[in-house]
A and B are shown apart, each in its own frame.
Chain A
Amino acid sequence: MRQPLSPLEIARHVRDAQRGSQAAFAWLYRAFAPLVHAIHLGRAPHAHAEELAQDTFAIAFAQLGQLREATQFGPWIAAIARRHRGRIGADEESLRENHDRASPAAGPDDRAEAERVLHVIRVLPQAYRETLLLRLVEGLSGPEIAALTGLTAASVRVNLHRGMAKLRAALGLAAAPEETADVHTP
């Protein structure tokens, strides 16, 4: 498993970026792009999410001097991403073309099924939606999600398990025992 980011590492890069280091900006972008992208993907079509993620970083980097708690970069940029919804009504057809180019091996059935799953995730509550997208779309582990979002490991685990249980139920899939073992779904 990859090592999650440490708060000290995040804080150091934030302070370097606040002093104008391009390398630090690039590090922050690489590290937090999955988080920002997942938040936008939870509410916007795929190609639009990429564009919104770019916008979010542009906004965040322009305001970076206002961030006082350098270790809180993740929750801070996540809040900016949630506020930044961009223009509604992207061209779905053009977005699908982009989407297909990104996955040439995928057939039309896979695509339809993927869209259906994504649609189900999008209607989940925010905490479950974002955590599940970080896990299933961005491929991050629980500790990595906790480091990016600033949530405790326990909160991330609960969000993952409850979200996954809801997703399985909505898709008509069988529940996994380890997902319901330590959590009581309300």
Chain B
Amino acid sequence: MSAHAPEQSNIPFWRDERYLNILAQILVFAIVAGILYSLWYNMNRSLEALGLPLSLKFLKITASFDIGEKLISYSREDTYLRAYLVGVLNTIQVSVLGIFFATIVGIIIGVSRLSGNWLISRLAGAYVELFRNIPLLVFLIFWYQGLFLKFPDVRDALRLGDFYFSKRGIAFPWGIPTETFQSYLYILGFGLIVAIVVGIVLHRQGVKTGRMPLIGLWSPLTWIVIGIIGWFILPQAPLTPTIPELPEKGFNIIGGRVFSPEFMALLSGLVLYTAAFIGEVVRAGIQAVSKGQTEAARALGLNGFQTLRLIVFPQALRVIVPPLTSQYLNLTKNSSLAIAIGYPDIVHVYGTIINQSGRAVEMTAIMMATYLTFSLLTSAFMNWYNKRIRLVER
């Protein structure tokens, strides 16, 4: 062992920091690997003793259970994999809508807290304190049992135009894709490309002439016009409307699209809860912009809204985005509480699958990988955005 002593040095290797550094790394690695290996070994041995060696083949087996809410076609004859996909899409649906609405509500709350109006700022403050200090699970159950299940029975559904409100959910008119829907998607894709090209051209022109045209107006307008033209060019409208109606006899409202009480409770719970945190993030971001900036803007003659939009917000955004990312991640992960109110999200379907197939280890690994993917994608996007808006120092 002494052969390994460092060259041209009298310090023995066990007191040489260069060696110790490497040694420590190797040791940490060995410890982590050892623990992981022993867990893995132990699990495999137990599973073999039960006659359940690890395998993913079960995903191809017929699921033979039904799922109430689905965004893609699914029946009991489909595989476990497809059943899981139904759960994944349900989670995505509630997360995307949740993030969208939570951001809007959160910004309103955050700005209101700083409002000069005493009542508005206090109300916003009370909102934040109320919603972020009660566990989300309690909220969900409250929304579900206390609000959405207290709607009128489906027979006495509350009707507002073509909207029906009842214990069976909120039914509203919707479009059903027809045969030409696929082609219409291509037209929309084409329109998007044209819109982007228009945007780039206008931007170049602006840079050249020094007068920036309203890209934010012209570019989307191009897309919308192409969309409208496409709608009428096609031999058949890509969507046919379906209007909800209450049949004379029967259990449920027919037609239209229905947001179930479970979905509504989960969405509103997630939005209101996360909005309280986003409100605080926004407030902190705005307050991080030094007062001198506002004063300078005012001195230049900008009004209150202009100051907020042109001076304060762009600077606050740099502070807001990183914590906002974690709120988005939280919202997605919190959607797993759906299990308490019977919304078939990932965890819900996962539970049924492991119970019917007995594949707890495999399914848990798949579920962890799914959530991890969601989170990494979200934070990758937010990091990209953060990079784009950060202060460019020249």
Partners in one complex: no
User: Which residues in A have some Cβ–Cβ distance to B below 8 Å?
Assistant: none
User: Which residues in B have some Cβ–Cβ distance to A below 8 Å?
Assistant: none
